[in-house]
């Protein structure tokens, strides 16, 4: 240490308060507790640690005793959850995304997803799994010039309306599963932590944008 630095430190030595700057307790410094008169013992440690009550913040997190709630959360056979509806093209590029409660059937959510697509061109065909096997849905989509391609349910009692020729396109449905796996590479989407549905939907749209950038 040079002379200049020593002089700089020497100016602050006279302004330090020894009782306030001693970090260790008095028994650790001297077993006999023999201190000069100019050294005062430090304050005794507190008797206990104060714990923040439930519902208040402790400086880092908030603790709430009640159950967590949020919009677009519904009950299913496996518990509560949120459905993610994704629309992709033939190459698996996301064209639209929407969220809804897990309670309603997917038949009632498909048309809302089509209305949220980012392209103006109307799709000619919509490939879906057995969850979309509904004759009223087929009629509504047919009015919009959209052909619904999905296999029939095993418990279907009405006459079949889907023959084997359009179902040959159903083998390409693995592309939507691949697109969903791309989105689930972002750990924030695997489990919903956001209380507000708009935040969760915004993260989904951001993940779709990143997926499109990686594709192109």
pLDDT at 114: 94
In 3D space, the residue among 175, 133, 177 whose CA is nearest the CA of residue 156 turns out to be 133
Q: Which residues contact 27 (CB under 8 A, 6 or more apart)?
A: 33
pLDDT digits (tens, 9 = 90+) for 45-77: 555 555 545 555 555 555 555 555 678 888 888
Q: What is the dihedral of CA 126, 132, 136, 137, to 10 degrees?
A: -30
Report residue 159 as tokens.
Answer: 């006459």
Res 22 pLDDT > 50: no
Is residue 43 pLDDT above 60, yes or no? no
- Domains by residue range for the chain, with CATH: 74-215 (3.30.420)
Give a three-class secondary structure readout of 113-163. HHHCCCCCCCCCEEECCHHHCCHHHHHHHHHCCCEEECCCCCCCCCCCCCC
Strand partners, 83: 100
The pTM is what?
0.65
Q: Which two tokens stand for residue 190?
A: 């695997």
Strands 74-76, 94-101: pairing kind: unpaired
Of 76, 75, 94, the C-alpha closest to 85 is 94
Which tens digit of pLDDT belongs to each residue from 156-188? 888 888 777 888 889 889 999 999 999 999 999
Task: Specify the 3-state DSSP secondary structure of 62.
Answer: strand
Q: Cα–Cα distance between 67 and 109 in angstroms, integer?
A: 27
Contact (Cβ atoms closer than 8 angstroms) between residue 110 and residue 126? yes
> Is residue 101 a contact partner of residue 82, using CB atoms and an 8 Å limit?
yes
pLDDT digits (tens, 9 = 90+) for 108-161: 999 999 999 999 899 999 999 999 999 999 999 999 999 999 998 888 888 888
What is the number of H-type helices and E-type strands within the chain?
8, 5
């Amino acid at each position: 240490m040079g002379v200049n630095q020593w002089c700089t430190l020497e100016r602050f030595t006279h302004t330090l308060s020894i009782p306030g700057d001693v970090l260790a307790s008095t028994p650790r410094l001297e077993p006999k507790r023999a201190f000069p008169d100019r050294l005062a013992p430090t304050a005794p440690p507190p008797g206990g640690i104060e714990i923040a009550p439930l519902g208040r913040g402790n400086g880092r997190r908030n603790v709430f005793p009640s159950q967590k709630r949020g919009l677009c959360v519904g009950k299913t056979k496996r518990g509560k959850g949120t459905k993610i509806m994704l629309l992709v093209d033939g190459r698996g590029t996301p064209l639209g995304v929407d969220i809804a409660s897990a309670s309603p059937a997917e038949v009632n959510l498909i048309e809302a997803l089509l209305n949220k697509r980012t392209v103006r061109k109307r799709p000619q065909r919509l490939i879906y799994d057995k969850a979309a096997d509904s004759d009223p849905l087929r009629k509504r989509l047919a009015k919009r010039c959209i052909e619904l391609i999905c296999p029939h349910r095993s418990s279907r009692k009405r006459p079949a309306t889907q023959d084997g020729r359009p179902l040959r396109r159903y083998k390409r449905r693995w592309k939507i599963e691949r697109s969903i796996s791309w989105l689930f590479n972002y750990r924030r989407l695997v489990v919903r932590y956001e209380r507000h549905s708009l935040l969760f939907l915004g993260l989904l749209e951001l993940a779709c944008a990143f997926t499109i950038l990686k594709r192109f």
